Amino acid sequence: MSGPRQRTVSRPVTLEGCGLHSGEPASLTLSPADPGTGLRFRRTDLDGSPEVPATLDHVVGTELGTTLGSGEAKIMTVEHVLAALAAMRIDNASIDVSGPEVPIRDGSSADFIAALDDAGATEQEAEARVITVASPVSLTLSGGQSYVATAAQGLRISATIDFQHASIGRQFGSFLVDDEGFRAEIAPARTFGFMADAKALRARGLALGASLENTVVLDDAGVMNGGLRFHDEFLRHKVADVAGDLALLGARVDAHIVADRPSHTGNVALAKALAAHHLQASRPSLMDIARIMEVLPHRYPMLLVDRIVEFVDGERIVGIKNVTINEPFFQGHYPGHPIMPGVLIVEAMAQTGGLLLMEKVEAMGDKVVYFMTMDAVKFRRPVTPGDTLRLELEVVQMRREVCKMRGKAYVEGTLAAEAEFMAKVMDK
């Protein structure tokens, strides 16, 4: 076993309190779990104690906190305990919750760290799953939010926040999210809110349990609690939220995350992009560039497929194109703001589709694939240096030497372009 081992808590430990948004009494018990179990919540107050795995597939809400759900069972405000578990490298745990929400305690992750210290940790005979970043992953959302993830040892989160309030303003910081760094620099930072929003939130059934005991509250005069734990406590709590939401990947994360105006919605979107990136980067090539060049007639600078990672003869193919600043078209296509020409994205899809017909081409001898039509071409987002195109082509119809295909190009799980193609195998 070459990598780090999985860990679980050594014994059960319980915390009690109330829910920040529900205002209802809540208790949480962390218990040991077998290797490979992951982090799994259970609603012990509901019939059958239904499970809700702490995974991206079970995110059902990201407004003022992250909510997980499975069927009728939902658990709100999971990010604080998940951040503590991730920082302490706890891979497997059963998290029993009585009530609709994780207890807010003092509004930070500090009590969860203390509980984990009390429970202790046990190494297990299984290798921990670790997500790494092979090439930069970037994400831009509405409202000025953006994220970039790059390769790093361990998890570092650098974040910027900007609020139109004199007590917050614009803040930036960079933190290493490990046991020592998290417990000292991030875990004590409390959640925060604005008195001006309280009435409207409570009318919507939110912040019903919020008080000065568990929330840093700001009014027009400043902080109502009498003081802050850090001068940039607001920023540090946002960093804790990023760490907690990334725990929904079900793996440890080795990356440097640079986040501008992070939110739970953005954090979850980033986690999904990292999951797609990791899946793509870790998938072995079915066809490398040498094999591709044996089949396709294209050469530099017009060869736009680097490898094939999925292939089902006559049905489907998935190719990868790594877009770098060294591409010759960036010299003249928006040189001050480099964007891959849309026509070349379509060409990359077409070349991948041509490889789908490779067995037919090779079996017939001196043949080549020509494209007859391209329809329903749509561009959804720009492709820039550092992006990795995932080119997915599937057969819609196959008749003798003529094939109709549907193609889609993705960047980190987000659709960048799509088109329909008609191709024919012909003599060279």
Read off the tokens for 21: 């948004």
Q: How many CB atoms lie within 10 A of CB 94?
A: 19
Burial of 408 from C-beta contacts in 10 A (0-12 / 13-18 / 19+): middle
Q: Which of 21, 80, 256, 264 is catalytic?
A: 264
256 catalytically annotated: no
From 343, 348, 338, 344, select the one nearest 306 (Cα to Cα): 348
Tell me the C-alpha distance between 60 and 77, whole Å. Answer: 12
| Alpha helices by DSSP H, 91-194 | 110-119, 179-181
- H-type helices in 65-148, by residue range? 79-87, 110-119
Does 264 qualify as catalytic in the annotation? yes
Residue 351 CA to residue 323 CA, distance in Å, equals 15
- Compute the distance between CA of residue 211 and CA of residue 197 in angstroms, rounded to an integer: 13
Distance CA 346, CA 126 (A): 43
Catalogue the active-site residues: 264, 333
